[in-house]
Every structure is written in structure tokens, then in C-alpha cells.
Amino acid sequence: MDDQAWLVVNALPGMGALRIAQLLARQPQWPEGWLAALPSRAASELRLWLEHPTRSPLQNVVAQTLAWQRSGPSRHVLHRDHPAWPALLNELPDPPVVLWAQGDLSALEGPKLAMVGTRRPTGEGTHNAQTFARDLARRGWCVVSGMALGVDGVAQRAALNAGGRTIAVLGCGVDVIYPASHRDLHEQLSCLPGGLVVSEHPPGTLARPAFFPRRNRIVTGLSLGTLVVEATEKSGSLVSARLTLEQNRELFVLPGSLHNVQACGCLTLLRQGSAHLACSVDDIIADLGHWAEAFIPPATGEQLSEQEPLSDSLSDNSLPDSLLASLSATPTPIDLLVHATGVTVSDCQQRLLMLELEGWVAQQAGGWVRLPRP
């Protein structure tokens, strides 16, 4: 499916991210399979667009996006068939169907960490956000946040200033500047190398309160984990924390003073045992490093020969070799394995099943693990 087809699917009446994800799981052929699987109203609208696009209101969505792309540089429409589409999003029960993007698509490469926190950070919180974002950027990690006031903006500015990569996920169109005081940050994210602005809302869409909790699922969904810098007991950052755990990603928090109201939410997460304490970037990378390796291109044959030898039954098949090389005792999600090996989901699943039957791997909560050598 091309850009126009995905834009039309995204605009079909009576559908939504969750229903479209459920339909995609059935792998319908385009367009016949879609027409057969869609509810009657959506199917009728799609058929009209396919047969008489100029008479279809869906064509307006396509035309508006094409006009937006032509009106400026570095403007993109991302979807599952786009080479830059982040595979981690496909793990969500309701991933966005389309992402409008403006900026440098290379920001989507490599490991990513979400950084969130209060809109009113203390001096210590501001310093910590700057330090962690800078150190992450210098070590090749992309900082993902929402370009909000406070921790979000501080972290993203620090990542850009360090010459790193950062992605802002907006609760409005990518061409709408919200908050208005972040006009300069929006321009930097859209124009500087390593900066990218994305949104599941078409250009021109104004910010609405209901959009921001939905936006948070993309912030965390793009990332291997989330770092909460400072958060009050009722902070919106705790929504991101909950989403992180629901998405089976790692949650980290910075410690704070018992007397700091802005740190109460972080302390609650630690007391509940739902988050890891992070005192440095090393703590985060130590926990996520095995996942981050999956974003590195698969090892060459020469590199594989230097690793622990595999059984004779596997030595003549590079896919199982690369699968095993990508696994450890810590569960790894299948989409990261697909990314690491460069194969289809179906092939990867079949190989994992074979390896499981032979006693090499096992499936656990959060992904697949490599078992001790038999």
C-alpha cells in the first residue's frame, strides 16, 4: 500500500487505530481483502474512492496532505509500508495508522528512550533532565518526548545542543506550535540534523486535551523505556509511566527529596516496585543495552565466526545463527528480532518455533530468551 492508500484507510468513517490494528492482524490483501473485511459504511466509502476518487470526500484528505508535503522540505507520511516506520509501534494494541513527520527521519534510527516529567521542574530537576538527555545523546540514544513545557522541552533542547537525536510527538498537527513559547524549539526540531516532529493528527489540527493522553502512547511506544525525571502525585507523566508498563517496556525514575512535591510521583513508583531507580545513564543502558543491540545491523559472517560456536544442525543456516546471536537471558520482543535479522515476522516466528522445539530458545513474558546450551 502506498501513502495515499494509508491516508484513506486512516480517514475511513467508523474506524480507529484499534479496529484498524485488529483488521491488519488478519493481513487482508489490498484492496479486495479490505473491502470484504470492513464494516459496510467504511467499505462503501473505500469502494467509492477506489472507483471514483474525485467524487470521494476521502480524496480531500489525500489532497491536503500532498499540498502540505509540497509546501516545504523534509515532510513525510509514515506508515507500516514506509522504510522508516518504527517497528516498535507495531507492538501496541492501537498503533497510529499514519504519522505525519517533519524533520530528519534518521532520528528514528537506533535505540530510543522517552523522557517525561513535570511542566514545573525544580532547579535540580532541570539540571538532571539536561544531564541525562545530553549523556544519552552522546552515547547514540534518541530522546523521545512531547515538546511540552518543563522537562520535555529541557531534555529535547539538551539533546539537540549535544548534537544528538530527539523526536517530539505532538498532540496537534506537526505544523501547529503548542505551546506557543516553544516556537524556537519546534523550528529546531523541524530543521536541525537529528530533530524530528511527528503526530498522528493531520497538519493544521489544533491541540485538544483529549489528544495528549493518546499522544503519550506513541512517546512510550517508540521507546525501549521511559525515564520519569520529576512528577507530582497526579502528574500526567504518570500516564506515560502506566503506558510504559502496559507496553512491557522498562520504567526508570530519578530519586528525589522527600520534601520535594515535584518528586512525589517518582517516589510512589519506586515504593510500588514498578520502576527501576536510575542514578546515571549507565544504570539505564545496563538494563536496556541488550535491546539496544537489536538496532545495530546484524553481525557479518566473519563476526559470527568469532562468537560462541553453534550446533552443527544450525551452522548452515544464517537466520537461526543471527537469531541466537540476538538473544540473551533477558526477554527480547519479536519485532526487535525481526529488525535485527532483517526477515519477515512470519519467517522469524517459524525459526523461533524450530529453535524452541530443539531446546535452544523459550518464550517468556516480554519476548524470547536464549536457553543454556543443551
Q: Is the pLDDT of residue 17 over 80?
A: yes
Judged against a pLDDT cut of 60, whether residue 374 lies above it is answered with no
Q: Which of 154-163, 225-234, 299-308, 319-328 has the highest mean pLDDT?
A: 154-163
Q: Of 240, 256, 235, 234, which Cα lies nearest the Cα of 127?
A: 256
Please tell me the distance from the alpha carbon of residue 134 to that of residue 144, in angstroms, as a whole number: 13
- Rounded to whole angstroms, how far apart are CA atoms 74 and 9? 23
247, pLDDT greater than 90? yes
pLDDT band at 357 (very low <50, low <70, confident <90, very high): low
CA angle 300, 143, 136 (to 5 degrees): 70
Least confident of 55-69, 193-207, 242-256, 315-329: 315-329
In this prediction, residue 263 has a pLDDT band, given cuts at 50, 70 and 90, of: confident
Per-residue pLDDT at 344 = 76
Are 173 and 198 in contact, with CB atoms under 8 Å apart?
Answer: no
Q: What end-to-end distance do the CA atoms of the chain give, in Å? A: 44
Average pLDDT value for residue range 50-79: 95
Query: For a pLDDT cut of 70, what percent of the chain falls above it?
Result: 90
Q: Can you give the pLDDT at residue 256?
A: 79
Question: Over the stretch 127-149, which tens digit does the pLDDT of each residue have?
Answer: 999 999 999 999 999 999 999 99
> Which domains are seen in the chain, by residue range?
1-71 (no CATH), 105-295 (3.40.50.450), 322-370 (1.10.10.10)
350/172: higher pLDDT:
172
Q: What is the dihedral of CA 7, 63, 1, 176, to 10 degrees?
A: -40
Query: What pLDDT does 310 receive?
Result: 30
277-323: pLDDT as tens digits? 999 999 999 999 777 766 644 433 333 333 333 333 333 345 566 77
* 230 neighbors 118 (Cβ within 8 angstroms): yes
| Residue range 271-282: mean pLDDT, rounded | 91
